[in-house]
Structure 1
Amino acid sequence: MIPAQKQEITFTRLPEISPDALIAHMSDPRVAEHMPLLTFEWDRDMVAKFVAAKEGCWRRDGLGHWAFLCDGSYVGWGGFQREGDEWDFGLVLRPDAFGLGARIAWKAIAFARADDRIPFVTFLLPPSRRNLGALGRMGAEFVEEIEYDGARFLKFRLDTA
């Protein structure tokens, strides 16, 4: 387990991460447990498509998903993705880095608050996620239950202005 308060958290782009690290991360059943849309096997081809899609968001929107590093080591990925008129924030950590979620989220939200394009952020969480206290501490409020790509999610909103 990575201690949650002592290391430096940095963000980089996904092409900087080895495909093997992404495959190992996304193939862990503890990660898939709360990802209802993860219904396929991760291999080098899937990693290439995933990274290309996320980099496409950067080209299209000027913002997208990062790889998260703790003291230079890959601990997960996530970031902002434009969904219509909204910016959705996602965070997918390696199981040994689950304790870093709040620190990474706070750093990303600080980024959103400094960006005039992002008046609010949405979060989509599967109903299997029971510990939602961190969202409340950030100031996010429950909006509604929605269906996205055939799966149910709880939608929250955080004003960043």
Structure 2
Amino acid sequence: MTLEFKRLTEVGVDEIIALNNHPEVLRQMPLGSADFDEVKARDWVSHKDAQWTQYGYGPWAFLIDQEFAGWGGLQHEAGDADLALVLHPRYWGSGKAI
């Protein structure tokens, strides 16, 4: 398994939309909703990526064997750093390696 960390801006927005709208993923994300469209996705990516400049940390996109597997890492939430890990179901079980 080859694991890469990339900025969310380096991943196709369609892949992020598909992940964040996936029914099995949504069952694990209480703040998620199935109406995550291109406009919301672009705003979400911009907001997540801006955290790197604003706080010095932010979430990553994870690629496994050059395929987008999910996103996560430290992200700013309610005045503190929150650890997130959101993976496509076919990559569940890869969290420990990430």
Q: TM-score when scaled to structure 2?
A: 0.91
The Cα of 1:27 is off from its aligned counterpart by 1.2
Q: What are the equivalent positions in structure 2 for 1:1-161 lying under 5 Å apart? A: 7-83=1-77, 84=79, 86-104=80-98
* Residue deviations 1:80-119 (CA, integer Å, cap 9, x gap): 02343x4211000001001101111xxxxxxxxxxxxxxx
Structure number having the greater strand percentage: 1
In structure 2, what is the Cα distance between the partners aligned to 1:95 and 1:10?
18
In structure 2, what is the Cα distance between the partners aligned to 1:55 and 1:44?
16
**Count of equivalent residues:** 97
| Structure with the greater alpha carbon radius of gyration | 1
Cα RMSD for the two superposed structures: 1.2
In structure 1, what is the Cα distance between the partners aligned to 2:44 and 2:34?
12
- Equivalent residues of 2:26, 2:34 under 8 A apart: no
Query: Please, which runs of 5 or more residues in structure 1 have no aligned partner?
Result: 1-6, 105-161
Q: Bigger relative contact order, structure 1 or 2, given CA contacts below 8 A and separation 6+?
A: 2
In structure 2, what is the Cα distance between the partners aligned to 1:20 and 1:50?
13
In structure 1, what is the Cα distance between the partners aligned to 2:32 and 2:90?
19
In structure 2, what is the Cα distance between the partners aligned to 1:44 and 1:98?
25
In percent, how many aligned pairs have the same letter?
39
Structure 1 residue runs of 4 or more that deviate by more than 6 Å after TM superposition:
none
